[in-house]
Structure 1
Amino acid sequence: MKLFRHGASGAERPGIVDASGALRDLSGVIAEIDATVLSDAGLARLAALDAATLPLVPAGTRIGAPVPRPVNFICIGLNYADHAAESGLKVPEEPIIFLKAGSAYSGPNDDIVIPPGSKETDWEVELGVIIGTGGSHIAEDAALDHVAGYCVVNDVSEREYQIRRGGTWDKGKGCPSFGPTGPFLVTRDEVPDPQALDLWCEVDGKRMQNGNTRTMIFGVKTLVSYVSRFIRLEPGDIIATGTPPGVGMGIKPEPVFLRPGQTVRLGIAGLGEQTQKTTGG
C-alpha cells in the first residue's frame, strides 16, 4: 500500500494509490496520516478499502511529505563504507546519529532553497524509515515490527556549515527545504527486504549516485533498535539511513556543489521518485 499527502503546504490531505496507480483522496475516510493510522490496525483498515471508489486527486496537485512533520527527524551519518571512504573518514564503530530540523521537512518536489552565500550545498539520496509504533529500547529482532513503511529522503547538506562552522553537523543539515521526503509512504509489507533496494540521484540529468541498501554498514533493524536507546521513537518519526557514494563533496579532483537553476532527481526502487529545482543562493 502506498500512502501520500496532497495539497498546499500546511494544508495537505491524505491520499492512497489504487491498484491501477491512480492517486485517490482519503480525506473522506481519515483526517490525517497520524499515529492511529500508522499503527498495524490502522494500516490494516486502510488496506481493506476499495481505493478505486475514492475521489481522484486532480492532476497537477502538489504532493506533500507523506506524514505530518515528525517529532523526530533522525539521520544516520557515514552508513555506507564507500561513502565514508569518499569523504575521507573512517567507518564508524557505532551509528552516527544527528537530527534534522523540523523546519527542513518539505515535500518531495518542493524547491531546494540554497542559503544566502552558500557555496557547498550538496545532495544525498537516502532510504527513509517511517515509524508506526513508537518505543524505547526496542529489541533488534522486533525492530521491523515498529516500522510503518519506507520512503525516499534527500538529506540536503551544506558542507561548509556541516564541517567547518564549529563542529556540529546539524548546522549543515537543517536549513529550510533541506529535507525533501516522499512522495509515498510504502508500507512494510511491500518491502520484504529493506536491505535490497537500489537508490540513485541525478543532477541536471547526470547520474551522480548509484547504490543499494545492501551495502549499509548498519541495517534498518539495527538502526531502529540503536536509535531507540537514545531517543524515544514516536509514530511518524523518520530515520534517514545514510547515503551511498556519489555526493558532490566526494567528486575528484574538485568537489561539485549545487547552484541555483539546477534540477535534482532521485529515487529508490519501489518507493517512488523526487524532482527538485534549486533556487536562492
Structure 2
Amino acid sequence: MAVFDPTVPFRRSDALAAGVSAWGLRAFRRLHRDVYVAPEVGLDARVRALAALTTAPAGALVARHTAAELLGGVVPSSPHVHLVLPRGSRVRAAGIEARVGRPLSNARIRGVPVTTAEDTFVDLGPELGLVDLVVLGDSLVKAARTTPAALVAAAASATGAQTPVLRRAAALVRTGVDSPMETRLRLLLVLAGLPEPVVNHVEYAEDGRWLRRFDLSYPELKVAVEYDGRQHAESQRQWERDVERREGLDRDGWRLVVVLSKGVYREPATTLDRVVAALAAAGSTARVTSDEWRAHFPGY
C-alpha cells in the first residue's frame, strides 16, 4: 500500500483508509469533489494537474495550456486544467476542461503524465494565433522539450482548418530565443517583410575570446535589435556596464536599436521605422513590404 502523503492531491477514501477521520478531513483543502490536499500546499500547475487527474479515468493525460506550462512553454493563461481522455470516458468537474482525443504519446514532468511537446503544439493550433504559436514553439525549444525540426514534422502531419497557420508557425520557430518578447519583436520585423534577423549571434575577438551576444541582429550590416524589458537601470554597476557596452559597439561600428515594451505593443509602427532607418544607415535598401504585421501588432 502506498504511503499516504497529504501534500499530493488525494481522494477522501485514501485519507479514511490511512486513518484520517471524516471530521479530520475538514482541516484539508478541498480541490474537487472528494479530492483534497494539505492546506499549506501551493496551487501551482503541477498540483492542479494532479488534482484533476485524481478525478479522471486511467489513461488521461494533461494537455493543451496546462501541458504547455508544465513543459516550460509560454502560453496565454487559462483558468482551467486541460485533460485529454481515452475514448468512451468523461470528466465533469469545475475548473477542469476535458476532451476525448486520439491516442497520444506522453511525457512525465515531475510525476505528471502530459502530452508531448509536439502534440501539445499541434493541439493548441486551433486555439492560438500565429504569434502565440511561435512564442510557444520557441519557449518549448528553449526548455529543451523539442526542436524546430520536430515541430515542423508534427505540424506537417496535422489535419484541420488551422493546419496552414500551424505549419507556418512551426517553420518560424527558432533555437536560442531567450524570451517571448524577443519572439514577438522578431515576428514584428518578419511579418512586415523585413529580412529575418539572426537569433543569438555571438561575436568573438581575434584571439577567440567571447565579446558580445545579440538577441537579434543583421551581422553583415552590423545592426542589432534588442528588446529591453527593464524600465530603468537596475543598479549603478548595471548602468555602467550598459554604457561600456554601448561604447564598445560604437567603437566597432555597430548600430543598436533598443526596443521597449511599448515599441511592440503600443508603437509597433515606430519600431519598424527605427529598424528601417538603422538598416538604411548601414547601407541596406530593406523596406516594410507587407501590412500583415498590423493584424498581429495593432498598437493603440
Normalised by the length of structure 2, the TM-score is 0.23
Query: Highest relative contact order (Cα 8 Å, sep 6+), 1 or 2?
Result: 1
Normalised by the length of structure 1, the TM-score is 0.24
Tell me which protein shows more strand as a share of its residues: 1
Q: Which structure has the greater CA radius of gyration?
A: 2
